[in-house]
Amino acid sequence: MASAGSSQCYSAHVANFVESPVLSAFEGNSDFAQVFNPSWIKPSAGTGFHEGLLVRSQNCTSCGQDQDHCCGCSGTGPRASVLSFARLESRDSSAAAVPKFSRVSASSVVFGPHDESDVNGVEDPRIAYDEKTGLYHVLYTCFGSKLVELCHAVTPDPTSSGNWTRLGPLGFGDGSKSGALLIREEGSHYLYWGAGHIRLTKSSDLNTWTPGEGFIHQTLFGHPNVETGPPPMKLSSGDYVFFINSWSNSRSDPDWYQPSWVILDGRDPAKIIAQALEPLFTPSQAQWMRGLPPYQCNVQNVAFLEAAHQIAPDSFRVYFGGSDAVIGTAVINFTKNSACTSATTETNSVVV
């Protein structure tokens, strides 16, 4: 990997960072005490052309009553994770917009636990839409009584609770999670997955997968742990931006979890051609990412980016969890600074 002092052929700029959460119990637009780690649902005929967020929702009301109490909400029944739909009710396509969403309540729940394989919850979805079939592929964590593993479901409408098909675990084993799926028009489809290290695997049919090989192991700014964000998205150059998350080894670090990015070669998405030299933003920027009162705190010092969509060429609206209890948003712009030479490709790629 390249050193932190290396020049990069792409750069990123935070064009706007909304100072307050757009979804939270404290802000009054969620009946769930914890609403976080969203995925973006693009509009289609299947959704009635509604768009918005599929969000992880939980209820541990004792979280965050004082500065030192972050409860790490988990359990069965009402404490288990479910997935809820928050419909976008305003524009979010300008950099200055402050998006508004429908209230998240019990009636918003569209997907939840169904047996011992996910009795503790369905968590942290990532959604990819297949234009050819009209199906949304939802990769999520099944938190079972014995295993925690990456699972797969499909539906023509992730905004409602009907017509979901559970395809079960991908077979990657206990501890597998965080699957960001790149569906391509031609050739193999790519799945980037994992927490701690990101792995890469390919499939010709979106159903048959192997665990694959190691792909990203750390950031250029020194974080030794990485995890996938949303599926890669195309830039005007034809390359892909792939948002990822990273963290240090110290849970007490006020900037413990920080979002980052890499650029994948448009012709070969197994090749990294640029990487962030610094995080996009950090938890210490706001109390609601630190998990400090008056906001709820599930896990302190976390900014975890899992949803994004393009709002203009090379400009992306992102949504992210703060302290595993609320959802924030920002707009990120990318600029190509120079040609990505073969030398840059070689120093930044991890060959699969």
DSSP line for 124-172? EEEEEEETTTTEEEEEEEEE-SS-EEEEEEEES-TTSSSS-EEEEE-S-
Place of tokens 């002092």: 5
Q: Would the pLDDT of 347 be above 50?
A: no
Could you report the per-residue pLDDT of 31-68, keeping only the tens digit for each?
999 999 999 999 999 999 999 999 999 999 877 655 56
Structure tokens at 172: 């990657």
pLDDT at 349: 40
Neighbours of 244 (CB within 10 A): 23
Domain membership of residue 125 (yes or no) is: yes
Domain that holds residue 222: 10-348
Cis bond before residue 99 (omega within 30° of 0): no
Q: Would you call 24 helix, strand, or coil by DSSP?
A: coil
Domain membership of residue 77 (yes or no) is: yes
Domain membership of residue 2 (yes or no) is: no
Q: Would you call 78 helix, strand, or coil by DSSP?
A: helix
pLDDT at 296: 86
What percent of the chain has pLDDT above 70?
93
Instruction: Give Cβ neighbours of residue 183 (< 8 Å, ≥ 6 apart).
Output: 128, 129, 130, 137, 189, 206, 231
Q: Would the pLDDT of 326 be above 70?
A: yes
Domain membership of residue 273 (yes or no) is: yes
Which region among 12-26, 170-184, 247-261, 330-344 has the lowest average model confidence (pLDDT)? 330-344
Instruction: Give Cβ neighbours of residue 220 (< 8 Å, ≥ 6 apart).
Output: 1, 2, 3, 4, 6, 275, 276, 277
Q: What is the chain's mean pLDDT, rounded?
A: 92
pLDDT at 66: 58
CA–CA dist 90, 108 (Å, integer): 18
The mean per-residue pLDDT over the stretch 318-332 comes to 97
Helices (H), the chain: 287-290, 342-348
For residue 133, the domain's CATH number is 2.115.10.20
Neighbours of 147 (CB within 10 A): 15
Domain membership of residue 128 (yes or no) is: yes
Q: What is the total count of domains within the chain?
A: 1
The mean per-residue pLDDT over the stretch 170-187 comes to 96
Residue 181 near residue 126 (C-beta atoms within 8 A) = yes
Confidence of residue 105 (pLDDT cuts 50, 70, 90): very high
The mean per-residue pLDDT over the stretch 103-127 comes to 97
Confidence of residue 222 (pLDDT cuts 50, 70, 90): very high
Domain membership of residue 4 (yes or no) is: no
pTM beyond cutoff 0.85: yes
pLDDT at 64: 62
Domain membership of residue 252 (yes or no) is: yes
Domain membership of residue 264 (yes or no) is: yes
pLDDT at 6: 58
